[in-house]
Structure 1
Amino acid sequence: MDLAGMERSSLVKYLVRQLEHFFPDGQHDLSFRIEKDLDQALARLEVCIDAVKIWRKGEFDYLHSSQYTIFLYFLSNTIWRSRQDKRLCTKLFYLNKALNGIDCFYEIEMPDIFFIGHSVGIVLAKADYANYLVLYQNSTVGKNHGIAPKLEEGVIMYPNTAIIGDCHVKARSVIAQGVSVINKDTMPNSYVFQSNSGALEFKPCSKNILGDIFRHV
């Protein structure tokens, strides 16, 4: 993958400088620990970037905030899967939180393909996620009494939305701005609104919104 404006070695140095700035604990082996899993993380990132229409295929721009947000998640998760380097994964998690305002823990298994419009205020719990997930600012996926939601393929969460608890969010559910889905299921291929009483209302989707965001959907 092409690293826009930067070599692979420079990306490692850039990331290490950020980590050392935010976490000046004197650890000097960060480059070595990042290098071990960087290529696998970049390969996962490339699959995700290549699926998004507005992003150039095969190119990662470290100054594109949404792409960098996803990169930091993939790197932390890849390192965790590979060798459970908890201290480094925690630093990467906090770095993502500090830079991009997102709370996406490294143990969470995000799908291979997802899109972040604006990362600020996004909070993601350990839930069941699927490909073609779309997240905008201040969207929340959370547990209720230890029960996490299940999201099928192609769920779109517009700004200020929440999916909490024992929910089965069906494929191509579009959660309208400001709507909270709490311990309820949705209808597939539908817009999800909320009445004044708080009850969920569903309207069939007449447009392929995912097709505006992703290739081959």
Structure 2
Amino acid sequence: MKLLRLDHDGLLDYTHRQLSNFFPDSRPADRQVMAAHMPEALARIGRCINHVRCWTPDTFDHLHSTQYCLYLYYLSNTLWRNTGDNELATRLFLLNKALNGIDCFYEIELPDVMFIGHSVGIVLAKATYGSHLVLYQNSTVGKNHGIAPVIGEGVVMYPNTAIIGRCQIGNGTVLAQGVSIINRDTPGNCYAFANGHGGLHFTAPKRDILADIFRS
């Protein structure tokens, strides 16, 4: 995968300097640990980039805020999965939160293919996430009494939406702006709207939104 503006060592230095500036207690060994696992993280963000229509295939831009947001998540998650080093993973999680306004803990298993429209205000719990997830600003996935949702494939969360608690969100569910789903399921292959009386209204999709976002 081609890196714009920076080579691999430059990206490693760039990320390490950010950690050192935001968290002055950063350990000297952090750079070496990141160097060992950055190729895997870049391979993961590369797979994601290659599926998103609006992004140039096989090209990563560290100044593209969403791509960098996903890179920091994949790097923190990769480090944690491979080493169990939660201290460095926590720093990367906090860096992502500070730079991009997203609360996405490193232990969360996000899919290899997903798209974030705008990361600001996104909060993600340790839930189950299906492939081809689409998130926009101020979308929230949360637990209720310790129970987390199960989100199917191809789910789209437009701005200011929420999925909370004991939910089974069917494949292909699209949440209209402002919709909250709390402790209930969706049938899948549907648009979910608020009905004005505190409930939900489901309609059949009239177009394939995912086809506009992802390459086949």
TM-score of the superposed pair, with normalisation by structure 2: 0.99
Mapped pair 1:128 → 2:114: no
Secondary structure in structure 2 of the residue aligned to 1:54: coil
Residue in structure 1 matched with residue 139 of structure 2 by the alignment: 139
Question: Is the Cα contact below 8 Å between 2:109 and 2:129 reproduced in 1?
Answer: yes
Distance 2:28 2:147 in 1: 40
1:197 aligns with 2:197: yes
What corresponds to 1:91 in structure 2? Answer: 91
Report what 2:53 is aligned to: 53
Counterpart of 2:2 in structure 1 is 2
- 2:19–2:26 contact (8 Å) kept in structure 1: no
Q: Shift of the alpha carbon at 1:88?
A: 0.4
Give the unaligned 5+ runs of structure 1: none
Q: Secondary structure at 1:193's aligned position in 2?
A: strand
Identical-pair percentage: 56
Q: Which amino acid aligns with 2:133?
A: L
Instruction: Evaluate the alpha carbon distance shift between residue 191 and residue 26 of structure 1 in structure 2; reply closer, same or farther with a 3 A threshold.
Output: closer
Q: Corresponding residue for 2:77?
A: 77
Structure 1 residue 155 corresponds to structure 2 residue 155: yes
For residue 129 of structure 2, give the secondary structure of its aligned residue in structure 1. Answer: coil
Moved over 3 A (4+): none
Corresponding position of 1:213:
213
**DSSP 3-state at the match of 1:111:** coil
List aligned pairs for 1:99-114, cutoff 5 A: 99-114=99-114
Shift of 1:52: 0.2
Quote how far apart the aligned CAs of 1:187 are. Answer: 1.9
Correspondence for 1:38: 38
1:19 corresponds to: 19
| Change beyond 3 A, Cα 1:26–1:119 | closer
- Structure 2 CA distance for partners of 1:26 and 1:214, relative to 1, 3 Å: closer
Distance 1:208 1:129, change over 3 A: same
| CA distance in structure 2 between the aligned counterparts of 1:78 and 1:58, rounded to whole angstroms | 20
Evaluate the alpha carbon distance shift between residue 118 and residue 144 of structure 1 in structure 2; reply closer, same or farther with a 3 A threshold: same
SS at match of 2:91: helix
Q: Matched residue pairs, number?
A: 216
Cα distance, 1:27 vs structure 2? 2.0
Cα distance, 1:206 vs structure 2: 1.1
Q: Residues of 2 paired with 1:33 and 1:7: CA distance? A: 18
Per-residue deviation, 1:95? 0.2
Q: Deviations over 1:63-96 (max 9, x none)?
A: 0000000000000000000001111000000000
Q: Secondary structure of the residue that 1:91 maps to in structure 2?
A: helix
- For 2:10, what is the secondary structure of its paired residue? helix
The change in CA–CA distance for 1:212 and 1:99 in structure 2 (over 3 A counts) is: same
Deviations 1:27-70 (A, max 9, x none): 22221010110111111111001000000000000000000000
